[in-house]
Structure 1
Amino acid sequence: MRSHLNRVVFRKLLASEPIAHRGCLRPRQYLPSCLPDIQALPRAQRRSFFNIFKKPQRVTSEPRMAPGLEKMMEYSKMERLSARLPPPDDVLKAVTVFFSHKRDRKTSTRYIPDIQARHLLRSLNYLAEAESFSHLGPSVFYEWLQVFDHDAHADSSLHREIIDILYRALCQSKVLDGRLPKTKFFVAYVNALCATGGTLTARDELIQFTKQTHSPLQSTEIKSLWGSIFKGFSAEKNEVELLRTLAIMNETSAEGPQVFAHEVITRFYISQQNVDKASEWYNKCKEQDFDSRLELLQRALIDLGMRTSNTNLGKLIVKDITAGTPTKYQWDLIFQWAAGTGKGADEIDRMISVMERANQSLPEAEWRVPDTSTLNKLVKVAVDRKDPYLAERFIALGKSRNIQPNALTLIYQMRYRLVVKDVDGALTVYKHLQAQDLSKNQDVIVVNELIRAMCTSGRQDFESIMNVAADLSDRQAYFEPETVSALSVLHLSRDEVHDVIDLLNTHVYGFDMAGRASVQSTLIDYCLKPSTTTAQAWDTYIILKQVFDDTTREQRESIMNEFFRRQRPDMAVHVFNHMRSHTRQDIIPTIDTYVACLSGIGKLKDEESLEVVHNQLKLDFNIEPNTNLHNALMQAYTLCESPRTALGFWDEIASSREGPNINSIHLAMRACEDAPWGDEKARLIWTKLSRTGIELDQPLWASYAGALVGNGDVKGAIDLLEEAHAQQGLDMDTLIIGSLYNAAPGHIKKGIVEAWAKERYPEIWAALEEIGTRSSEQSGLPEFKIDRETGP
């Protein structure tokens, strides 16, 4: 089939019409994919003296991905493009390296974000179809399953599918491995299911396994698995199955962890803030041999009482504690409850003295002495109540008793100072925190909060912010998505594009989809922000294109429209071209994208951009032009002062099966208004409209009158309107007369319209004068501020 472009060229030649080209149809500024990612637009060439003083070119870091992930991403892309897939052995090697990395606690977290899980799932399905698992021993799959045996992957269908694939491959493995008994595989499988939201399946598998297996589970293994199932249902907030599991365990006389089950159920109701149920199951726990875990449960209930302001619950726990001889831990709970119910630092101090006097009746080895743990519990209560004054009083109380604060105390101090927006005070505490043992990274969350607060406060200098961020980076600690967003905007505001790319390459590939979307949304908002300079907006877009290749079509269209708003059609067309060259079907331009692009070009009257986009449309086999698209072309060519070309699209609309719509008629009339001898074309269109019986409302009459008067036929337009007014009952209004005046060419023609309107419709003319006038962009003549705009 001959291309549409060839047909257009031959039609132009046969009709003796010129073929506009303006040199190369794809000038350098419109190359969609040849520009370097961090280069904005072509710049003038600069030469240094023999390059002696030339600064070394800054090279951005490579994306920091988990080992093996890049190869799996490559497979996903090739699969989406239906291209030649990489060899299964290469993908298997990547999967093996990936799991080894996740199992190494020293170098990484075992958490697999959902984005990585999606690529991993595709790769495992590919390997399963290629039968690449046949030579792997069961121990390999056992080690891979252990990656999922913690709660970080809660309620993830992606991870459960991965687990199913691994367990099926494990069961079908023909390679003998006597180092691990069969039950070990099953234990890993059940634990993985419970940690990923598949507890119901895990319970059914456990019941079935214990009935059919010839290698019965050990007693400790059974208790462990039932414990995992109880924890799984609790994490899934599944009250019905949680209680049903306890009933099943009792009915089948299964050897399960009864005490642990009661504790999990109690904690479940605590998390649901169900005071009555929590109290009921707490009483059942007290009836059993609970040892020191009862104290932990009492603390959770004390916290529940303070969160719900339920004094009865707190009094019940305190009564249970004081019924015997409270331990040091239980005394701390009493102080915590007292602080939570409004007791001040002085009253707490007196209560501590009571505890110390009670030591006289105990052996010295059992004395209960207030310590840093006591102080931290009190400060935490003040922080939760958002009472920084009370927190400071408790810290002062600790100093008076020679209780030295530790890292946790300083972390609480930072939190309450950040709550009251005391960023300088929080930074001072942070400096003291540096002298503490932070090997467990317990300060990471609050330091992330500090960085964000420093970025938004506007009072902190750049170096101070970077010093705090560098401390986290040197420790290879976790940067939260909100922190990465804040630092990215800070660097962008300083035109530090390379630093933004380095920051994103270091962190975003380890985020899940929600985290990536958060950073992506922040960058898009910054790009669309009116106060952002055009150069910064362009740099931000290039970063989005490079780092967030999955930016949606809608998001890209909003950026394209933003550059149109900034009167930079060249940048907008770059964004459009990047969409055209994308490999994903859900990102390449649709008809609506073309319409938005053509509308923006038309408003800015950029003929060169219009020519480029129109030529691309002719070559785009994904697009079948419809009336809406032809309307956009007609509007764009009319605004770019090519009304004759615009009327050619009217002819295509009129001969199409879909036919014109109301907007098509208005746009055709506007083209006739500007085209030479356009009044003749307008009369032909109007005659056809009259024959179809379409309702000719006032806006259509206004467009038709404008088309006639635009070619100088003022008398004909006035006579037409007078006749329609007299015979068809056309009501004159500001739109009709204003359109007639605005379309009239030259001062003389406008004067004729003005004289007629003042004589025949003085009230309407007076209303137009109240609306006011402006200078026409094309002629510079005055025109009324009426809305004659028509969209595609």
Structure 2
Amino acid sequence: MRSQLTRHVLRRLLASDAHIPLTCLHPTFVLSRSRPTFRVYPVGSRVARTVQKRTFIKEFFAQKSPRALKQLETEPGYAILLRFHASENIGTQNSRRPPAPDELVQAWREFFAYKTKHGRAVNSTQALSAHRVLLHLSTSPANPRGAHLSEDDLRTARECMLKPPRDYFLHHVDFSREIYNELKRRGVLQSSDFNALLTALSQYGKALEARDRVLKYYQTTQDKEPFDTRFRQFMPVIRGLAKEDRETEFLALISKAREAGVEYDPTLHGIMTTYFAKKNDIRQAKLWFNNQIKRDLPPEPTTYYEILQFSLRNGQEKWAMEIYQNLISKLESGEWQNSKPSWDASFQWAVLLLGKGMDHIEHMIKVAYEHNQDNPNSQPNIETMNSLIKIATDKNDPYMAERFIALSKKLGFEPNYKTYMLQLEYRIRANDLDGAFVAYQALEDLDVTMEDQELATLNSLIRALCAAPNPVYERVLDVTSYLEQRLVTLEPETVMSICMAFLKNDETYEVIDTLSLHTAYYSVVERAMVQDAFVKYCLDKNNSTARVWDAYSLLRQFFPETPLESRVKIMDALFDRRRADMAAHTFGHMRAIGNPRLRPTLETYVRFFEGIGKCPDEDSMRTVHNMLKMDTTIQPNTLLFNALMIAHVACELPYRSLDIWKEITASPEGPSYASLEIVLRAYEITPDGDALADELWEKMKRMEIDIPKHVYFAYVVTMAAHGHFTQAKTLLEDMENAVGQPPHPFDLGHFYNALPSRELKEEFDTWVNEEYPKAWRALRAKYSKTSGKDGQPGYKVRRPWKA
């Protein structure tokens, strides 16, 4: 069996500082102590290539020197916060004493300072851990009122909570509330604290709570707060209600805000117009767009864009033309002459509404130059062209976007980072991966800070490269390394794509690097996404057994929190691949897990022994049976005994199976129908089993047991296996009267396979052609014939086992 987890790989893992199993939401969540050095080998040496023959001298001078990549930093302090959370979980086997308050305070400061410095979002697991630490420090008798955490510490964490995470927000809401309550308990609340709470509640699905708070606050401080403060309080709540589509409450709060003195400025105008435009509410969208903005300021460019899209969707081109004419009039009259966003909006409308071409747009840009000769800040520039490229991208028209790129060069505009990102986006949409990579190379050397949307585009590029029919792995590594050097944690979907692509290319080292660098910084939900991808890979029958085992080994190494159900599915899949030895290893790994919730249950043992029934392997069976004997958490019952009988019969150990049968009959629970079928199948391969089967059969008849088909047929096959052909035929003929069902085609196949001699098989063939010709033809049509271990002919029909 081929495996990539060689000694060299294990040494790399150790050198990279192994993972520490710590408990958070899941008791076996893993966090890396430090982010390891990554991808120290040149790309060419990592990607599988056709072997090239070189002399020693040529090889020496042809080697690429390893790229010196920046060491990625860990998120300082988080390990201690997480360790505290682990210690709080009651019943966890590895629970330990929590860190001291001073250690927690220092970890808190380091963690949130790092998040603030790099602008990183706090994921849900991190928010929960920090929340638990705050509660501990606030309520600990030795640490009254959380005195070791300063107001600045709390406010730093509060600001970090306002950057939305990739997963769910519940813990962010609870943590934001607790920070606010702690500041309130200390009597140090400021208006900025209240505004931050309103923002958090509004953007995380609690806009109604935010509305109630702001209205109550406004009633008590109606005339005490300045206008700017009132504006900052109402606007996030209004946005939140719009986001949650609470129209009634949304309109009511707008009225309250206007009463409080909030003016109808371009921001509020944009929120109102965009809300109804996205709902395709023609009357309300027109009403709010046409409302006079204070001091006759122009609408925001995003509002213009949304209302244009709305008009085109809803057949309101005539009304849109009026808006466009009014826009052009105010630009040319000089009223909005210095508003560059309005000029940019006019170019967009000319393209989308009027369908103007490049020549007309070029002329309009020159007109804008003439109107703003003395005001360079209002002249068209590369951002103007970016706004035009964006509409082509949103329209999914790469040809138009390329023409705008060409026009930009003609006008002498130097492309910037956003230009290349837009180019990258529309080329990915057009599945032009070569062109997309060229755009990526152009932006690679630009030293700029990337926004979340731009990071999402680069993640999309990696996924597109991985999803190509023939991925170019050097390109995947190029983009991945670029982001890693910038301390960017890839999206879970991207990590999934990278891992799956490299597993298919047997590049296990790259999978290890990727998992080491990213998964330790994910929340429990994000880790589960990557974990599920590995489980699905292991269950995919199209993947080779060697690759599946490599994937499982990585799953076990990096995701020790993998649930029992997923592990059992992998075990079953290995049995289906006829690899009972691997299935036994997976069972042993489950048995060795420290977390009791992930250890094998009685049902897991049953599943394993049933698997042995499908894929007999005596060594594997004995290994797990010995584990069962030493497992004090398992109380054997009939179900488990049945499974053990199955395993021993499948491994051709019928007498040991009959010993287990005696344990069943002596147990308080007694045998089940499945027990009866299994013991009859044990009698089938036992030398004196026919007499024992007759004895059991007579006992069942005396007790007037209602015998189901599978038990009846097991007795029939036992008689056939011991050469009692006439008796077996009689039982088969009487089967419909006895159990209400005639023999199925595969029943006939099992009967045929059980007969001990070629002569009896030939006699049965003649007889069954006369008695059950249709069923026999169906068997021969569906199942092929083969030779068994003893050289006797037989049909490839599998007889299922069920405990």
TM over 0.5: yes
Aligned match of 1:329: 341
List per-residue Cα deviations over 1:698-743 (Å, max 9, x = no partner): 5443321211232333344345556778999985665565443322
Secondary structure at the counterpart of residue 288 of structure 2 = helix
Aligned match of 2:692: 681
How far is 1:318 from its partner?
Answer: 0.9
- Consecutive unaligned residues of structure 2, counting only runs of 5 or more, are 19-31, 36-73
2:780 and 2:556 mapped to 1: Cα distance? 50
Give the residue type in structure 2 aligned to 1:68: G
Aligned match of 2:476: 465
1:466 and 1:723 mapped to 2: Cα distance? 69
CA gap of 1:539–1:360, structure 2 versus 1, over 3 A, is closer
Aligned match of 1:299: 305
Aligned match of 2:385: 375
Equivalences for residues 170-569 of structure 1 within 5 A: 170-173=183-186, 182-209=190-217, 217-249=225-257, 253-256=259-262, 259=265, 260-284=267-291, 286-289=292-295, 291-306=297-312, 310-312=316-318, 314-326=320-332, 327=337, 328-341=340-353, 343=355, 345-346=357-358, 349-353=359-363, 356=366, 364-365=374-375, 370-440=380-450, 443-457=454-468, 461-569=472-580
2:736 and 2:161 mapped to 1: Cα distance? 79
List per-residue Cα deviations over 1:344-387 (Å, max 9, x = no partner): 534xx225425645876887548975432332222222222222
Name which of structure 1's ranges 693-702 and 210-219 shifts more when overlaid on structure 2: 210-219
2:686 and 2:182 mapped to 1: Cα distance? 72
2:656 and 2:368 mapped to 1: Cα distance? 99
Are the aligned partners of 2:123 and 2:523 in contact in 1 as well (CA < 8 Å)? yes
1:359 and 1:772 mapped to 2: Cα distance? 81
Q: 1:712 aligns with which of 702, 720, 723?
A: 723
- Consecutive unaligned residues of structure 1, counting only runs of 5 or more, are 1-28, 30-36, 46-54
Name which of structure 1's ranges 652-661 and 616-625 shifts more when overlaid on structure 2: 652-661
Give the residue type in structure 2 aligned to 1:74: R
Are the aligned partners of 1:482 and 1:518 in contact in 2 as well (CA < 8 Å)? yes
Q: 1:612 aligns with which of 623, 626, 629?
A: 623
Name which of structure 1's ranges 84-93 and 484-493 shifts more when overlaid on structure 2: 84-93
Secondary structure at the counterpart of residue 330 of structure 2 = coil
Give the residue type in structure 2 aligned to 1:291: L
1:359 and 1:730 mapped to 2: Cα distance? 90
Quick check: 1:140 aligned with 2:153?
A: yes
TM-score normalised by the chain length of structure 1: 0.82
Are the aligned partners of 1:710 and 1:743 in contact in 2 as well (CA < 8 Å)? yes
Quick check: 1:570 aligned with 2:570?
A: no
Give the residue type in structure 2 aligned to 1:269: F
Name which of structure 1's ranges 387-396 and 103-112 shifts more when overlaid on structure 2: 103-112
CA gap of 1:760–1:654, structure 2 versus 1, over 3 A, is same
How far is 1:606 from its partner?
Answer: 0.8
TM-score normalised by the chain length of structure 2: 0.81
Secondary structure at the counterpart of residue 690 of structure 2 = helix
CA gap of 1:659–1:249, structure 2 versus 1, over 3 A, is farther
Equivalences for residues 23-62 of structure 1 within 5 A: 39=5, 59-60=15-16
Aligned match of 1:67: 76
List per-residue Cα deviations over 1:623-668 (Å, max 9, x = no partner): 3444433332221111110122223444444455555444333222
List per-residue Cα deviations over 1:181-222 (Å, max 9, x = no partner): 654544443343334333322333334445568996555333
Quick check: 1:167 aligned with 2:180?
A: yes
Are the aligned partners of 1:504 and 1:547 in contact in 2 as well (CA < 8 Å)? yes
How far is 1:307 from its partner?
Answer: 6.1
How far is 1:599 from its partner?
Answer: 2.0
Give the residue type in structure 2 aligned to 1:102: F
Give the residue type in structure 2 aligned to 1:226: F
Give the residue type in structure 2 aligned to 1:111: A
Are the aligned partners of 2:222 and 2:260 in contact in 1 as well (CA < 8 Å)? no
1:498 and 1:155 mapped to 2: Cα distance? 32
Aligned match of 1:4: none
Quick check: 1:774 aligned with 2:782?
A: no
How far is 1:761 from its partner?
Answer: 6.4
Quick check: 1:156 aligned with 2:169?
A: yes
Cα-Cα RMSD: 3.9
Give the aligned length.
736
Are the aligned partners of 1:423 and 1:454 in contact in 2 as well (CA < 8 Å)? yes
1:513 and 1:191 mapped to 2: Cα distance? 25
Aligned match of 1:13: none
1:138 and 1:485 mapped to 2: Cα distance? 40
CA gap of 1:677–1:406, structure 2 versus 1, over 3 A, is same
Aligned match of 1:50: none
How far is 1:434 from its partner?
Answer: 3.4
How far is 1:673 from its partner?
Answer: 0.5
Aligned match of 1:34: none
Give the residue type in structure 1 aligned to 2:81: M
Are the aligned partners of 1:148 and 1:196 in contact in 2 as well (CA < 8 Å)? no
Are the aligned partners of 1:154 and 1:197 in contact in 2 as well (CA < 8 Å)? no
1:196 and 1:84 mapped to 2: Cα distance? 34
How far is 1:402 from its partner?
Answer: 3.1
CA gap of 1:161–1:700, structure 2 versus 1, over 3 A, is same
Name which of structure 1's ranges 501-510 and 433-442 shifts more when overlaid on structure 2: 433-442
